[in-house]
Structure 1
Amino acid sequence: MPQFEPLKNDLLLRTARGEKVERAPMWVMRQAGRYLPEYHEAKGSHDFFECCRSPEIASTLTLQPIERFAGLIDAAIIFSDILVIPQAMGMEVVMVDKKGPHFPNPLRSPEDQQYKQIMERNVDVTVELDYVYKAITLTRQKLKGRVPLLGFCGAPWTLLSYMVEGGGSKMFKEVKTWVYKYSDASKALLQRISELCVEYLAHQVVAGAQMVQIFDSWAGELSPATFKQFSLPYLEYIADNLPKRLLELGQKPVPMTVFAKGAWYALEDLCNTNYNVIGLDWLHEPVEAYKIAQAKGKVVQGNADPGVLYGSREAITATVENMAKGFGRGKQGWIANLGHGITPFVNPDDLRFFFEEVHRCCR
């Protein structure tokens, strides 16, 4: 078992457990990324997935915002990608410049030989994704207890969408064909992905992750009824089974966050799951979301529109003040964050101002 220095700042973990705290903890999704000039220096000529597969580069990128914004953010999140699970399942994924992830051979129907191979393949995540675990352990060691380290994975519905669409989509024609035409096959694949997510996350904790987040980035493409069929049961499976798997591996369960972007209608359903923290995008009204979550004993995370970082300092201040007021000033039950990841071309100084305003509003 790897050995790590004691944690000096446990504010995020205490908040995630529902404890009363001195202020709201703060981090943001995609905080390690291309908006930082030092990211491009460290990345060099390596492509995106080469960076993910290099524990040294991944740990360097993870630590960049911790060092740039020292004292302002309360968590690091490992530099990786949600699509490493489809890669572990045997699918090819490449990152195309200015376009994003691309699957040269996406799944087209349950009759595809590739679908059958994926369903039958024995995937050992400890072998296939060993580079992620090495990056987590190395990063924990480099952090020296400054802040907790978060692990993550993509949610089954979102991963299925990528595997079938072949990349990002505006229409989601292919995955909608799957769920409405091949419902049983879709559910079988979703269950297979769910089981791998549990195993993948469990070994992230073994490697040193102290909290995990499940990203359902395409949840908002589902209607409330289809969300209950094709997303929620698999999110529940992860939340129900990850703590059990950790105990089997001799680990204590860690706080779990679910982030179902766009599924504003599912807030109460998500609050009825075993997740500790419910991530909110910017479609939620803070006061109402906080009231629902608090009634269910859940912590919320979010939810500023990332686009505000392109705006004026006055706009950033107004957004932070609205959040802080709606989420109880961060004394219990709120992790300050954006409502999705940082978008390209954000000025790091504007992000710093956002962090500073969260601290000011939560004193």
Structure 2
Amino acid sequence: MEYKGLTDAPIQGSACPTVIVADDDAVQRTYTSAVLRKLGYEPLEAEDGLKALDLVRKIGSQLLICDLDMPGLDGHQLARQVRQENRDRYVHILMVTGRDQRREREKALESGVDDFMAKPLDTASLTARVRSVSRLLRHEQLLAERNEAISRAKEQIEDDIRAAATAQRRLLPVAHAEVADCAFHSAFVPSNILSGDMYSYYELAPGLTAFYAVDVAGHGVNAALLSVALGHLLTAEHFRQQVVDTDGNINPARLVHSLNARFFDQSSNDYFTMFCGVLDHQANVLHYCQAGYPSPVLAQRSGECHLIGEGGFPVALVAGMEFESHRIDFRPGQALVLVSDGAHEAENLEGEPFDDERVIATIRQRAADPSAIPDNLVQALTQWRQGATLDDDLSVLVCERRLKE
């Protein structure tokens, strides 16, 4: 039998779905094809296994009806070859066998045959089997369409998330900047596309510089939305209104208390940790409030380092929570380093956390040049994790008091 017009390129299907009929018995092929036409299919005949395999390759049909005993390739060999070559497209295989070939059926199942029809074929049996496959094919088509729709929706969501991540990064200040006699240095490494970390710094008034760092609990879109909301809210004007009273007294706890009242929701599990500070340049005093955020490291250029603060309670976790302001001397030549818990909790391959001691040791390495502290921490954590992505977001913010020249 010749197959005119067949090339190596797949042939486009016609209006009727195609079925490949492989049988060396011309009468059986003709009978099977006649039944298939009545059912609305377009049969393509092959008198041996090799011609059938050629049609499967070129036509793309998803239904193959084949005899067990054929020249070229028998039914077992044909089924195995079809399964090996069509991993991205499932071909349903119905095999025609004699009633005394039960052992051959077991072998055929191992080869990849889906179902059997006994010789001699009857119209009712053939019709039932083909209609059963038709239902499966319609179901597979529906699943494929749904998967395609899900894939398109997933791509759209990922595009939206990337756009949101870009917007989120735009809320962050530049990595290096000067405010009055302070220099700020930072690093931002989200564990995913979006992050729950946020930080900023600004001049509140002549002689007063403010900065803060926030770490929203959890990951993903929900945490990022809350961090972005905080980034939009915590402007210099809002910070000043909440922290500095009419008499000029500085109380960062008032800001944290207002955020707790604003964001606490009994029906939500959202909360965040925070550190905020206001530097009085003339008095060389840092007024700060710590609300569950990891204790910052106060570093001298000599390498001497120590933690400040006692932890405090997270924001928006308990209604009516009281927060306290504290103060420390913060003089030129010193640097205050805020590091989110993505660093402290980062585990190596053995499950050992990076912890406070390693954070301090890494800061000490670059204490003489505070501008290098953020990148040094990122590099140290990359080595600690052997290149693996962090499980939690990482942000580093350094406030450096510049020495007067």
Larger Rg: 2
TM-score, normalised via structure 2 length: 0.25
More helix as a share of residues: 1
Structure with the bigger RCO (C-alpha within 8 Å, sep 6+) is 1
TM-score, normalised via structure 1 length: 0.27
